[in-house]
């Protein structure tokens, strides 16, 4: 098992890569999962936990349930089982479970520890690392939440064996995002290799985790460079909101969002058309949808303002600057942005 340390002073923690070893905790533990993941992996994980008491809380599956109601269910389970401030919550699932357990553990009795056991590719390469937690509401995506770092992350490739191809593609979208924004060489390797090859995939996961750990260590609270990881998300969050949570997978919406961001970047001379084509081609190779049809550009534009990155009524766009670089732009006129959005109307 490999170990990558995320350096955050007193909040530093290890990310374990490989077959899960024993997880020990002196107090009580609440494992939170959903019926699908629990059915597949709960006994595998329970067999690796040594704790005073271990309880399980099962919540409904899916992005549509990434809500305050589900967080209440987790909190109620924690109170019913008399968890205390020395207890630990464990998130066993994809990014949806991870974000909600992170949030629930961050507010239970003003904050207790939690551990991430990510089971989707997307959550292994991105969501489980870095301490962003939260839920969606009627106004948009991840608008309620807090920064709360886990105590440890266990990335076990075994879980990926049961992942449906569409979920795999959604994870690849986040891998492509990391490569485009931070690592040109990695992007070129992705063009040459195939992530369906197990050893290449493991290398890719490790590479992403290292990028994420480095970026989070530099900018834990997203005051600067960490925002680069939101490439594709400004558009992607609106796509998820507009199409109804769960219609497109989060990673798919990010993939389509990256293609929109690329069009904007090309218009500004930040990205070459040929580079935009290479990114789109790489996404398409894994079956990730790359084209979203916008029904109403004005409405789409207005929804940007619900994004957490928009400040003082200015939308902050995260755009690729070539492959391997990133630019932040909050000075774009409405007409410029609308002209890009119109290119995505039927």
Residue carrying structure tokens 């063009």 = 191
> What number of chain residues touch ligand NAD (CB under 6 A)?
31
Query: For residue 62, what is the DSSP state?
Result: S
Instruction: List the x/- string, 238-267, binding to ligand NAD by CB under 6 A.
Output: -----------xxx----------------
**Close Cβ partners of 206 (under 8 Å, ≥ 6 residues apart):** 2, 4, 17
- Cβ(216)–Cβ(129) below 8 Å: yes
Q: How far apart are CA 105 and CA 89, in angstroms?
A: 6
Q: How far is the CB of 273 from ligand NAD (least distance, A)?
A: 28
Question: Between residues 39 and 185, which has the closer beta carbon with respect to ligand NAD?
Answer: 39
> 246: which 2 tokens?
């769960």
What are the φ and ψ backbone dihedral angles of 5, each rounded to 5 degrees?
Answer: -95, 135
Residue 308 touches ligand NAD, criterion: CB under 6 A: no
The question of whether 230 is a catalytic residue gets the answer yes
Residue 37 touches ligand NAD, criterion: CB under 6 A: yes
Residue from 156, 167, 183, 280 touching ligand NAD (CB under 6 A): that is: 167
Instruction: Describe the crossing of helices 273-285 and 184-192 by its angle, rounded to 10 degrees.
Output: 50
Q: How far is the CB of 134 from ligand NAD (least distance, A)?
A: 8
Q: How far is the CB of 193 from ligand NAD (least distance, A)?
A: 22
The question of whether 237 is a catalytic residue gets the answer yes
The question of whether 110 is a catalytic residue gets the answer yes
Among 123, 272, 95, CA closest to 280: 272
Residue 220 touches ligand NAD, criterion: CB under 6 A: no
Instruction: List the x/- string, 51-70, binding to ligand NAD by CB under 6 A.
Output: ----------xxx--x----
Residue carrying structure tokens 């670089």 = 325
- The strand ranges marked E within 101-150 are 113-118, 132-137, 140-147
Question: Between residues 86 and 247, which has the closer beta carbon with respect to ligand NAD?
Answer: 247
What are the φ and ψ backbone dihedral angles of 338, each rounded to 5 degrees?
Answer: -60, -35
Q: How far apart are CA 180 and CA 59, in angstroms?
A: 35
How many residues are listed for the chain in this entry?
A: 346
The question of whether 329 is a catalytic residue gets the answer no
Residue 94 touches ligand NAD, criterion: CB under 6 A: yes
Q: How far is the CB of 144 from ligand NAD (least distance, A)?
A: 12
Among 259, 101, 249, 281, CA closest to 164: 249
The question of whether 250 is a catalytic residue gets the answer yes
Instruction: List the x/- string, 95-114, binding to ligand NAD by CB under 6 A.
Output: xxx-x---------------
Q: Per CB under 6 A, which of residues 120..159 are in contact with ligand NAD?
A: 120, 122-123, 126-127, 130, 132, 142, 159
Residue 222 touches ligand NAD, criterion: CB under 6 A: no
Question: Between residues 27 and 157, which has the closer beta carbon with respect to ligand NAD?
Answer: 157
From 66, 148, 237, 308, active-site residue: 237
- Cβ(231)–Cβ(255) below 8 Å: no
Q: How far is the CB of 155 from ligand NAD (least distance, A)?
A: 12
Task: Tell me how crowded residue 242 is: count the other CB atoms within 10 A of its CB.
Answer: 17
- Cβ(278)–Cβ(290) below 8 Å: no
The question of whether 226 is a catalytic residue gets the answer yes
CA angle, 10 as apex, 5 and 16 as ends, to 5°?
25
Which residues are known catalytic residues? 110, 132, 174, 212, 222, 226, 230, 233, 237, 250
Contact residues toward ligand NAD (CB under 6 A) are 34, 36-37, 40, 61-63, 66, 93-97, 99, 119-120, 122-123, 126-127, 130, 132, 142, 159, 162-163, 167, 170, 249-251
């Amino acid at each position: 098992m490999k170990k990558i340390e995320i350096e955050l002073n007193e909040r530093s923690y290890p990310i374990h890569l490989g077959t899960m070893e024993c997880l020990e905790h002196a107090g009580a533990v609440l494992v939170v999962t959903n019926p699908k993941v629990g059915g597949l992996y709960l006994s595998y994980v329970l067999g690796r936990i040594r704790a005073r008491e271990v309880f399980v809380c099962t919540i409904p599956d899916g992005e549509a349930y990434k809500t305050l109601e589900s967080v209440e269910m987790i909190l109620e389970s924690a109170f019913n089982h008399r968890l205390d401030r020395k207890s630990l919550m464990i998130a066993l699932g994809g990014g949806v479970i991870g974000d909600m357990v992170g949030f629930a553990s961050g507010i239970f009795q003003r904050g207790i520890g939690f551990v991430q056991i990510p089971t989707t590719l997307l959550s292994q390469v991105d969501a489980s690392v870095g301490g962003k937690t939260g839920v969606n509401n009627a106004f948009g995506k991840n608008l309620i939440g807090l920064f709360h770092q886990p105590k440890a992350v266990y990335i076990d490739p075994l879980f990926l064996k049961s992942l449906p191809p569409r979920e795999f593609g959604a994870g690849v979208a986040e891998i492509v995002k990391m490569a485009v924004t931070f690592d040109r060489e990695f992007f070129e390797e992705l063009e040459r290799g195939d992530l369906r090859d197990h050893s290449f995939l493991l290398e890719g996961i490790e590479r992403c985790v290292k990028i994420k750990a480095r970026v989070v260590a530099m900018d834990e609270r997203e005051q600067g460079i960490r925002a680069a990881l939101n490439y594709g998300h400004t558009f992607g969050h609106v796509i998820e909101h507009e199409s109804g949570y769960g219609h497109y997978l989060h990673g798919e919406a990010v993939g389509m969002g990256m293609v929109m961001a690329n069009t904007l970047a090309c218009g500004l001379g930040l990205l070459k058309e040929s580079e935009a084509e290479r990114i789109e081609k790489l996404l398409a190779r894994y079956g990730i949808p790359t084209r979203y049809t916008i029904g109403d550009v004005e409405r789409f534009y207005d929804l940007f303002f619900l994004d957490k990155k928009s400040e003082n009524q200015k939308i902050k766009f995260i755009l690729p600057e070539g492959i391997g670089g990133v630019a932040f732009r909050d000075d774009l006129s409405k007409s410029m942005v609308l002209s890009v959005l119109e290119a995505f109307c039927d």
